[in-house]
Amino acid sequence: MKTKLLALLLTLSLATYGQGSLKGRVTDEKDQGLPGVNVLIKGTTQGTVTDANGEYTLANTTADAILVFSFIGYTAQEIAVAGKTVIDTQLVPDIQALQEVIVVGYGTTTAKELTGAVSVVKAEEITKLNTSRVDQALQGQVAGVQVTTGSGAPGGQMNIRIRGYTTNGDNNPLVVVDGILYPNPTDALNALNPSDIESVNVLKDGTAGIYGVQSANGVILITTKQGRKNTKPSLDFTGYYGVQEAANKISVLNATEFAVLKNETYAGGNEAPPYANVNLGEGTNWQNEVFGTAPVQNYNIGLTGGGEKATYSIGASYFNQEGIIGGEKAGYKRYNLRVNTTFDISPKFTLENVLLYTNERRSTVPEMGISAILFNTLNANPISSPYTSAGEFTLLEDVSEVANPLAQIYNTFNDSKVNKIVGKQELTYKINSHFELTGRAGYNAAIVDYKDFSPPVYYGTGKAMNTLNLNSATGELEPRMKEIATGVSLPTYNWVNEKRTTYLDYNFEAFLNFNQTFNAQHKVKGTFGMSAYGNVSQELSGTGYNVPYNSAKFADISAATGPDVLNTTDSWQDQTRQQSFFLRGEYAYGSKYMFSAIVRRDGSSRFGENNRFGIFPAASAAWVISEEQFFNSSLIEFMKVRASYGVSGNDKIENWKYRALLGGEGVYPFDDQLTTGAALGVPGNEDLKWETTHQTNFGIDLNLLNGKIDITTDYYIKKTNDLLFQPAISAISGAYGAGGNSPYVNGGDVKNSGFEFAITYRDKIGSDFTYSIGYNLTTIKNEVTALQQGVDFYSFGGFGVGGGSVSRMQVGYPIGYFFGYKTDGIYQTQQEIDERGVSQDPDRVKPGDLIYKDLDNSGDISFSDHSDKEMIGSPIPDVIMGMNLSAGFRGFDFSLLLYASIGNEIVRNYERQQPMSNLLTYNINRWTGPGSTNEYPRLTTGNDTNGNYNGVLSDYFVEDGSFLRIKNIQLGYTLPAAISKKIGARKLRFYVAANNLATFTKYLGYDPEFATKDPNVSGIDTGFYPQARTIMGGVNFNF
Amino acid sequence: MKKLLRTITIAAAATFISVSCDDFVDIDPKYTIDADNFFLSPDDYDRALTAAYDLMQTSYLDLWIGEIASDNSVAGGESVTDTQGLHEIDAMIHGGVNNELRNFFRWMYAGVTRANYIFEFKDNIDFEGKDKILAQAAFLRAYYYFELVKFFGDVPLIVDKRLNFSEISQQERTPATEVYAQIETDLLYAASILDWTDEVKGRITKGAALSLLGKAYLYQNKFDEAAETLDEVIESETYELDADLEGLFRVGGESSPETVFDIQYVGSEGGGYDCFVCLEGFAAVGFHGIREYKGPIYATGNSYNLPTSDLKLEFEAGDPRLDIALLDIEAFKDLHPEVEFAPGGGGHTGFYNNKYLKRADELGAGDDDLTSPVNHKVIRYADVLLMAAEAYNRKASPDDVKARGYLNQVRDRVDMDEVNLSGTALTNAIYHELRVEFAGEGHHFFDLVRTGRAAAQIPGFTVDKNELFPIPQVEIDLAGAGWSQNPNY
């Protein structure tokens, strides 16, 4: 044996001596060994492949040979041997990124061959932003994607809209994580740790139709990190710790200003001024009391690698964020554990496993509308101090709806615990080189345990949140009595409410992929498959009264001491199912022309027999002009034009709405006992059918200046027909009893169109300084194009307290546009009122009141119909933009992300008109006499004769919601490899970063970047929890 | 191994195909009942009836509008845009866009529909006691239609069925006389079945049916029928005037012998502003409450529906009903100097509706502005007497002796001098008595309209227009049946 080996070595060395031998190492752009690179002697079939460390050895090379290094995704490199014996090289990623693999649903393609409109966000871009959730990281990164906040509270809801407001129902896109479908994106995105993500692909146009069911709002495909075969274990640790604070505060009156303005207000109403002494100093700044700094931290550890036949990627993470209002009481915690593995169980079978365990814990404080913490904070009297001299919470007695917000936070106890397992088993059978069969089972099982506790509270006279009554005779606080039988009442001191909700989503899919190239030019691909999706959910809840010591410590039904007759229980259950068959054919002629067509048949249990199934086709084509002989440009390296048209269906409505169920509430007291009846609920609609979106897309992709510039631009027209929603129905249908509502109908059409433009420029200065600039822009034009016959408009929202509607859906206008009066300054004198020639509530109007325009020229401002109202704003921005700057110099890296929304309006709907509620400081500029202001009306308590119509919805309450925000700014430093190697690390990076560092806006409220889920009321600010500004520091270690 | 894998794959694929057959998406909801598959047991009828009672609990709007539209009270509230529809009605500038009228229109038709639903399936099964259920359902349908015809005049008359979508656009406005005819039929039927008393508090009785019938006759100026019907109630000797008039409007007075027809409320269930139709308490009471009130007896509320000094002046000197009906807050403050309150931006008169005013010892569960346990006294025996008095006085062959007798019974109860008038003078005395006896109870506007006195009494009232409220414009549009709006709106 030994001799044989010796002989072999000898032979080798001899050969080397004779013709030359060569070795070297091939590395990637991060200086890591690149395994699997083809190293070929040009013009021969002779060559080798690099090993796991990227190293290779090549015998029998001649001194004049030329080596060709090639690897998928990297630009091939040719190097002349020129007598060298060691050739190390670094491959650069294919600068045009055209070989980038793009996931298109049940298959992949490359950027070069892509025919649809798909945007890709890579792992680095996501992790760089340090967001708690993936959707936050999409904002400003991708043209055509608008991400808004439903609540800035930790764990709060985000709303994602791809290409405008497609439907007036649920506009959220379908999210698919590693092949697992999530119709509710919040579910998917809350559970995912952004650092686990490899890439996010956003399917924007009709080609998303391969996901048929629910793809009408677009599809977000997320791939989590996988190991690579034949790679050494790589251990990553990332972590950051940050401090959050309120990004801005609303300017409200201080104590002195308050006293002065309230005295004037009362005088305006011919009432005695409340404050004899107005020199009260600053008083209490309630916002300073309520807002605090709150920590946010996130730590991830990940291990990836792979052997000959298996790969693994294992990660664990911990995320903890407290609220800037309420601290831990508005906190969100998440533990994640993820195991992704692949096994080649035989040469033809591959098994892929994804398992994700998530444990979440979230607490919330009241937000939005009356009784929200911020509502109380803004309206609280600045003269009152937060605490009494005895250290107790002050009872704010000035306004019955305004409670001490600090007491309210103190008495809020709730938490929601989520235990969730998401998994997928996927088996791929490579039948031969052309056919591949895949079967997968995905599941998502979650248990949500919710608990809240209501301690006995008394916030002052007449507060709606009181659970104790003040006995004015004795001065004692007494518990409320709950009548459980005629004449029998029991005291309720406190109660605890517990709920357990379980969800199981499952999907089974099987599909066959075909891929063959005929005559070297005709590339044919086909996909045929089926998908079945279902979910079941149920909840059991109960309320127990009177836990010991009125203490949250004992807040559990098991500890409740109230008798069973007090306690209550409830439950519900629900389910949905969907199924689909899909077929896709793709054809490419050379690399010049590509065509793709999809047809899909979908069924949904949400529709009745008449329309349960729908067929949705899509087709797309691309032409790579730069491949043509005639194309000869030194400037443009690559140019592709794309076009697509597709139809997709939407079934995102509540379950069972096609049938009439006895879902109404019919309760009436007999013998003073509530008796539950059986009532008609929402009327059914057996003819309910799929809402369909017809989307046309034209796009151009360009690569200029040797790959330094990438441009992608698209124009889209998205027409959504047969909108599924619940518009009002005639009262005589009887649909509006308790528990009733408008039935779902297919009630209108809406059109979104716009232009998307994305450009990236990257370059180097010298050898050390690299930089890139990315910019994207999206325009949205939204218009309702049809409503049900006979219906002119639908109204939504409510302004102020008991006020009229705010927004409308109407043909020719954007969804949810604001409808109200137009102002024209302020009446300065009685003479001006008398001489105007237009009557505006002559009994009440006085100098100092808003002048409304007589839009119908009737000589009369009508407050009892719509004749003097018109469009006064729209919540939909004209343009949204994102800009990304990054630069690297030696070990330093810097990045900046800007986001802007332009042309949207917001209705200021968080102010109260109560005589003693606090006011925004703009009221200091109120009208005080002729010539004082032509903008801000007078202040008055407005009793019978002094009331006025200044409070109706007019453009006075509509503000420009445009803003520019520095979403993220980051500076990092990576230690030189020489130093990090000493401690056994491949990479050590430290950074500091800030999220939401600054916002430039004219909006008076906390945060212009918000929207509700329902597009019809999306720009109405009733006082939501603003997003925090976060300053943080973190590390990325790689071993 | 390979074979096994192949088998597994094929088996899995076969499973997918089988679950993907179309039955997979054909599922039924669990533990719920389809509306068309109900009325299988007597209990089902009873439960459907309970649901039909439920809509009466939206009657706070009837009470408010009956006062605010008249010269009795102003709308009040936080501002003039707080429940703006009431302010428009107050100023007699209301038009086709009015949330309160729209809600009322919707809720009354929801009530009609729930009653019709029972009649649609009335022959499903037979059981003892079904006639009592149908009789109550008939009363409820009559009540809802009476409210509709009283507010809006001609309204689509839908009987014994639910409408499907395609039928809506075929429903024309039925002439008010035909709607009244249905009301009479239903009430006569109810009265023929029901007993004078029911051991269950809150159930409709024969007395309630006949009294409502008498009222419906009166609204049509059918004085002979009204007199006869109301006499039947009086002569049954089921009811008597309660010596404690003030106590009648407290929770403790709900079972008074004066109670003919109450809408029942309890305070045990909480409620919110997002669903008024869900409330089990009487929303009017908390809304009437004194704004930012601190002090004894009463509790803070929303300062709605504030009585005017015009109403105060209607009372004769020494009439104890003035203080029962109106709370003069400044006078009360003189007695209780610790009292604090704030005027609302929607109006302030110095008076509050003392019959239905939030009191500290009658609070419901949270939000207690909405959940008062106090019942709404829709028809009390005094009403039966005064309606009968009016009927006897105004019928073709008047019987003023009888009329005066009934009137004086009501006056005697509060120790007011007997009147000894007849003819038109007696008519006016009855009108005066109606206003003071039922001050704050939501009758006055409709009494003024039906007796032709509205234009003289209500500033801004336009004859041949404001007798009826406009049909909500949106309802005209949604029905798509070409309804014309009420005159001059």
Chain A contacts of B169, Cβ < 8 Å? 790
In angstroms, what separates the C-alpha of A702 from chain B's closest C-alpha?
42
- Whether residues A532 and B93 touch (CB distance < 8 A) is answered with no
User: What's the CA gap between A371 and A918, in Å, rounded?
Assistant: 15
Please identify among residues 191-250 of chain B the ones whose CB lies closer than 8 Å to any CB of chain A.
Answer: 200-203
Chain A residues with CB under 8 Å of B5 CB are: 345-346, 348-349, 427, 429
DSSP E strands, A476-592: 476-485, 488-492, 495-518, 522-545, 568-589
Best probe of the B interface among A672, A729, A856, by most B CBs < 10 A, is A672
Instruction: Report whether pLDDT(B139) > 80.
Output: yes
In angstroms, the separation between the Cα of residue B115 and the nearest Cα of chain A is 10
Q: Which residue of B has its CA nearest to A396?
A: B292
Cβ contacts (< 8 Å) between B278 and chain A: which residues?
665, 738-739
Query: Distance, in angstroms, between A661 CA and closest chain B CA?
Result: 4
- Kindly give the residue spans of alpha helices, DSSP state H, lying in A168-274: 185-191, 255-268
Find which of B198, B269, B292, B371 to mutate to test the A interface (most A CBs within 10 Å of its CB).
Answer: B292
Contacts of A954 in chain B (CB under 8 A): none
Whether A723 contacts A749, CB under 8 Å: yes
Instruction: State the smallest CA–CA distance between residue A670 and chain B in angstroms.
Output: 5
- pLDDT at site A980: 79
Of A895-899, B144-148, B202-206, B419-423, least confident by mean pLDDT is A895-899
Lowest mean pLDDT among A261-265, A468-472, B34-38, B54-58: A468-472
Mean pLDDT value of segment B41-62: 96
**Are B293 and B299 in contact, with CB atoms under 8 Å apart?**
yes
Q: If you average pLDDT over every residue of chain B, what do you get?
A: 93
- Interface contacts A/B by beta carbons within 8 Å: 367
Q: Is A971 exposed, middle or buried (0-12, 13-18, 19+ CB in 10 A)?
A: middle
Q: How far is A65 from chain B (nearest CA, A)?
A: 45
Query: Is B20 in Cβ contact with A581 (below 8 Å)?
Result: yes
Crossing angle of helices B42-54 and B99-120, in 10° steps, is: 170
B266/A674 touch (CB, cutoff 8 Å), yes or no: yes
DSSP state letters, B66-128: HHHTTTSEEEESSSTTTTHHHHHHHTT---S--HHHHHHHHHHHHHHHHHHHHHHTTTS---T
Instruction: State phi, psi for A846 to the nearest 5 degrees.
Output: -140, 165
Q: What is the pLDDT of residue B90?
A: 93
Tokens 């007090």, residue located = A566
- Which of A510, A683, A799 lies closest to B16 in CB terms? A510
How far is residue B204's CA from residue A138's CA, in Å, rounded to a whole number?
A: 62
| Minimum Cα–Cα distance from B157: chain A residue | A732
Report chain A (1039 residues): mean pLDDT per 10 consecutive residues: 46 45 82 80 80 82 81 75 84 62 72 76 72 71 76 76 73 81 70 77 80 77 82 86 89 92 83 86 91 90 88 90 90 90 90 90 84 87 91 85 90 93 90 90 93 92 82 82 76 94 91 87 89 92 93 92 88 91 88 88 90 90 87 83 90 86 91 92 88 91 84 92 87 92 88 91 85 90 87 82 80 92 92 88 84 90 85 92 88 88 90 81 90 88 62 91 90 85 83 89 87 79 82 86
b/e map A644-659, b = 16+ CB within 10 Å: bbbbbbbbbbebbbbb
Nearest CB to A510: which of B12, B56, B278?
A: B12
Please list every residue in chain B whose beta carbon sits closer than 8 Å to the beta carbon of residue A667: 50, 54, 269, 280
How would you classify residue A144: left for phi > 0, otherwise alpha for psi between -120 and 50, otherwise beta?
A: left
Please give the span between the terminal C-alpha atoms of chain B, in angstroms, as a whole number: 85
Alpha-carbon gap: A472 to the closest alpha carbon of chain B (Å) = 6
C-alpha B338: how far from chain center? 36
Q: Give the length of chain B.
A: 489
Do the strands A38-41 and A1028-1038 form a parallel or antiparallel pair, or are they unpaired?
Answer: unpaired
Q: Which of B5, B93, B114 sits opposite A679 (nearest CB)?
A: B114
Counting Cβ atoms within 10 Å, is residue A68 exposed (0-12), middle (13-18) or buried (19+)? middle
Strand-pair partners of A568: A543
Query: Cα separation of B316 and B417, whole Å?
Result: 10
Question: A interface mutation test: which of B1, B7, B97, B140 has the most A CBs within 10 A?
Answer: B97
CA distance B430 to A241: 80
Using alpha carbons only, give the angle A97, A99, A104 rounded to the nearest 5 degrees: 105
Burial class (CB in 10 A: 0-12, 13-18, 19+), B4: exposed
DSSP one-letter string for A286-301: HHHHHB--EEEEEEEE
Flag if B25 and A467 touch (Cβ within 8 Å): no
Best CA proximity match to A967, nearest among A893, A878, A1034, A900: A900
Give the whole-angstrom CA distance, residue A356 versus residue A367.
Answer: 31
Residues A342 and A352: their CA atoms lie apart, in Å, by: 4
Enumerate long-range contacts of A120-128, CB under 8 Å, 24 or more apart.
Answer: A120/A199, A120/A200, A120/A201, A120/A202, A121/A199, A121/A200, A121/A202, A122/A199, A123/A197, A123/A198, A123/A199, A123/A225, A125/A884, A126/A194, A126/A195, A126/A197, A126/A200, A127/A194, A127/A195, A127/A238, A127/A1036, A128/A895, A128/A968, A128/A970
User: Could you count the other beta carbons within 10 Å of the beta carbon of residue A37?
Assistant: 26
**Which of these, A321, A358, A336, A365, lies nearest to A155 by C-alpha position?**
A321
In A630-690, at which residue ranges do the beta strands (DSSP E only) sit? 636-650, 667-670, 673-676
Q: For an interface test with B, give the residue of A309, A944, A945, A1017 to mutate (most B CBs within 10 A).
A: A944
Distance CA A571, CA A574 (A): 11
Sign of the C-alpha dihedral computed for residues A87, A93, A96 and A102 taken in this order = positive
Q: Number of helices (H) and strands (E), helices first, in chain B?
A: 20, 6
This model of the complex carries an ipTM of: 0.94
What per-residue confidence (pLDDT) applies to A229? 81
- Which residue from B minimizes the CA distance to A670? B202
By Cβ distance, the residue of A530, A673, A863 closest to B88 is A863
- Please indicate whether, in this complex, the C-beta atoms of A864 and B366 are within 8 angstroms of each other: no
Q: Is B31 on the interface with A (CB under 8 A)?
A: yes
- What residue in B sits closest to A655 (Cα-Cα)? B29
Q: Does B475 touch chain A (CB under 8 A)?
A: yes
Q: Which of A659, A667, A740 sits opposite B34 (nearest CB)?
A: A659
How crowded is residue A288: how many other Cβ atoms within 10 Å of its Cβ? 12
Residue B203 with chain A: CB contacts under 8 Å: 670
By C-alpha distance, which of A693, A635, A708 is closest to A168? A693
A592: left (phi over 0), alpha (psi -120 to 50) or beta: alpha
Among residues A951, A947, A952, A953, the alpha carbon closest in space to that of A843 is found at A947
Distance from CA of B476 to the nearest CA of A (A): 8
pLDDT value, residue A5? 47
**A9-26 in b/e burial notation, b at 16+ Cβ within 10 A?**
eeeeeeebeeebbbebbb
pLDDT score of B340 more than 50? yes
Distance from chain centroid for Cα B66: 10
Q: How far apart are CA A673 and CA A483, in angstroms?
A: 8
Which pTM value belongs to this model? 0.81
C-alpha A501/C-alpha A499 separation (Å) is: 6
B102, B120, B144, B268: best to mutate for the A interface, most A CBs within 10 A: B268
Pair A503, A448: CB distance under 8 Å: yes
- Residue from A402, A412, A407 nearest A462 by CA: A402
Write the pLDDT tens digit of every residue in B361-414.
898 887 889 999 999 999 999 999 999 999 999 999 999 999 999 999 999 999
Exposure class string for A720-737: b at 16+ Cβ within 10 A, else e: bbbbbbbbbbbbbbbbbb
Q: Where does residue B460 rank: exposed (0-12), middle (13-18), buried (19+ CB within 10 A)?
A: exposed
Q: Which two tokens stand for residue A556?
A: 């559990």
Written as one letter, the residue type at A908 is: R
Cβ–Cβ below 8 Å for B365 and A679: no
Residues from chain B contacting residue A792 (CB–CB below 8 Å): 477
Name the residue among B38, B81, B289 with its Cβ closest to that of A952. B81
What is the model's pLDDT at position A910? 82
B287–A contact, CB cutoff 8 A: no
